[in-house]
Structure 1
Amino acid sequence: MYRKELIKILLNNPMSVHELAVAMEEPIKEVRDDLQHLHKSLRHSPYQIEITPAKCNQCGFVFNRDKMSKPSRCPQCKGTWISAPLIQIREK
């Protein structure tokens, strides 16, 4: 039931893992684990997950699209002003 709720919340509504954890009143680690499982299980459904990657606001470095949690530092400029990745679900 919990993963179905994630689909309803994220359907055409981009959110970060932290925002989603606050909305679901669950620990961030649990939400991140469920999102990773959901990412695999959506392959056989009418939905697809889209991840807008994290980006360094200082130098513009774009992180890997697979990473769902916010990185702590930029590998290029070592800055910490990083926007969190946004996750949303869309219909195929």
Structure 2
Amino acid sequence: MAQVEAQGDSTQLHYIVTDLTGTARELCSEEGEVCWRGEQELWGAHREERRPIPLRRYLGDAANEEVYCELRYQGQLFDAETGLYYNRHRYYDA
């Protein structure tokens, strides 16, 4: 699985590393560097670690932004605006 972000003419490709249940645990750059790491607590509360992306000429301005993964447990997305987790047709808090 991969996460692709595009901003103007530049794109970022990060590979999603999952555990046995399909939960996203890390995002790795094309060079294999870990750019984001996340862990879920028992009831779904999320702890994460962000790392700035190293500057690469071909990415332009997008190279200085931090990488973020919205995936949580399999099938869940985190909505930063509301602070809730979207799980198919419902929103939950952790």
Taking structure 1 as the reference length, the TM-score comes to 0.27
Q: Which has the higher helix share?
A: 1
Q: Comparing both chains, which one has the higher relative contact order based on Cα–Cα distances under 8 Å and sequence gaps of 6 or more?
A: 1
Q: Which has the higher strand share?
A: 2
Taking structure 2 as the reference length, the TM-score comes to 0.27
